[in-house]
Structure 1
Amino acid sequence: MFQFANKRFRALLVLILCVAILIVAGLSARAYLAANKDLQSTMPALGNVDKNLGIKPLSATDDTAIEERWGVRLQGIHITAAGHMLDFRFQVTDPGKAAPLVDTKNKPIVIVESSGIKLEVPNTPRIGALRQTSKQVKPGMVFTILFANPGKMVGTGQKLAVRIADFSVEHIIVGEILNTQLKTTKNNGQE
């Protein structure tokens, strides 16, 4: 009886310690961001970043130009995982043009437009990058990329920019559904 109680007590202590570490990490991230507002204001504006990279971003509302240039229809960015992740989705309309978006060599980033902060795709040792890929991309397939949202810094209604290789779209409003008339296909994109 005593050993069982001792094991339960140890498990409870480990749980309390883990929760405390998560709380301290979250508070530290918020304090760091609050203390570095001056640093954020000195970061280059998105227009300057784009000029330096030679990329001309398109607005998320310009559906036709995005589809013609990169062969995708954006579905939007939504908050998921209790606010700790951002779920970016797009549907492929032209596999040739969309190839750079699903190529694992191209690292996607999200930029918070108001601050210039860059958010990346988490890459865990066992699972790998939290992004969907496919060797056989077909029209109608929907792809998901999950971005980290440390300290829940991004909220609904904020504007973000997404960069993947030469793909550059800005003014994506978090939580807004884009392209509600997406093509639906049978068997998950296989016609």
Structure 2
Amino acid sequence: MTVRSGLKPTSASPAPRPLRRGSRRARLVGGLAGILVTVVVVGLVLWLSHAFDSGANRTATNVPVSWQRPVVTADALVTQSGVKITQVAVTGDGGLVDLRYKVVDPARANTLHDPRTPPAVVDEESGLVVHQLLMDHSHTGPYKTGVTYYLVFNNPGNWVHHGSRVSVMLGNAQVEHVLVP
């Protein structure tokens, strides 16, 4: 064995440490376990808050006092305001609420024109009053018997959604628990 001159082995540099296999795997498992625990805790908190809140009274008490009107059934709305609700739907990719109503008594339906009782839809879960009409469009003029009219409201934040229960305010009456299909 020949030794080259000028090259001397040095013992100043430490020998490289062997990689520990378990350390990387342990960090990965620990990280995944932490994520799993976080998801379980958040899910439990959401479930408990929903479970305790589901018994809450979701009626006119969620509607701001300034917007409340006498609560009537859907059938009584016909005698109170002269109209029958035919549809409440979310359209425009959730950004609009489409309210359709059929006029049964045009004389009573004219109460819908009263500026003191503007039409609105209230999300019963949040109490949010959806009342801003799309492009401020509403019906003007006399109503005709048997004709279905519509109101399209802006739905800010998509608060009213499929499966929501809403209160519909038309004229001086309010119909609660209308399901949005």
- TM-score using structure 1 length: 0.56
Which residue of 56, 66, 71 corresponds with 1:57?
71
1:65-104 aligned at under 5 Å gives the runs: 65-103=76-114
Equivalent residue letter for 1:154: V
Equivalent residue letter for 2:81: W
Q: Structure 1: 5+ residue runs without aligned partners?
A: 1-36, 176-191
CA contact (8 A) 1:46 1:116 kept: no
Match of 1:138 in 2: 144
User: 1:169 Cα shift?
Assistant: 1.2
Aligned residues: 126
1:147 and 1:111 mapped to 2: Cα distance?
11
Match of 2:19 in 1: none
Q: 1:69 to 1:123 in 2, by over 3 A?
A: same
Match of 1:47 in 2: 60
Q: Look up the SS of the partner of 2:90 in the other structure.
A: strand
CA contact (8 A) 1:76 1:172 kept: no
Q: 1:74 to 1:165 in 2, by over 3 A?
A: closer
1:78 and 1:99 mapped to 2: Cα distance?
23
1:58 and 1:151 mapped to 2: Cα distance?
28
CA contact (8 A) 1:106 1:165 kept: yes
1:144 and 1:51 mapped to 2: Cα distance?
24
Q: Structure 2: 5+ residue runs without aligned partners?
A: 1-48
2:117 and 2:58 mapped to 1: Cα distance?
23
1:97-176 aligned at under 5 Å gives the runs: 97-103=108-114, 106-122=117-133, 124=135, 129-131=136-138, 133-175=139-181
Whose radius of gyration is greater, 1 or 2?
2
1:51 and 1:151 mapped to 2: Cα distance?
19
User: 1:55 Cα shift?
Assistant: 3.0
1:51 and 1:148 mapped to 2: Cα distance?
19
- TM-score using structure 2 length: 0.59
1:139 and 1:74 mapped to 2: Cα distance?
14
- CA-based RMSD: 2.9
Match of 2:26 in 1: none
Q: Deviations over 1:7-61 (max 9, x none)?
A: xxxxxxxxxxxxxxxxxxxxxxxxxxxxxx9xxx9xx9643467956732123xx
Equivalent residue letter for 2:174: S
1:117 and 1:71 mapped to 2: Cα distance?
26
Equivalent residue letter for 1:82: D
Q: 1:48 to 1:150 in 2, by over 3 A?
A: closer
2:69 and 2:115 mapped to 1: Cα distance?
20
Equivalent residue letter for 2:160: V
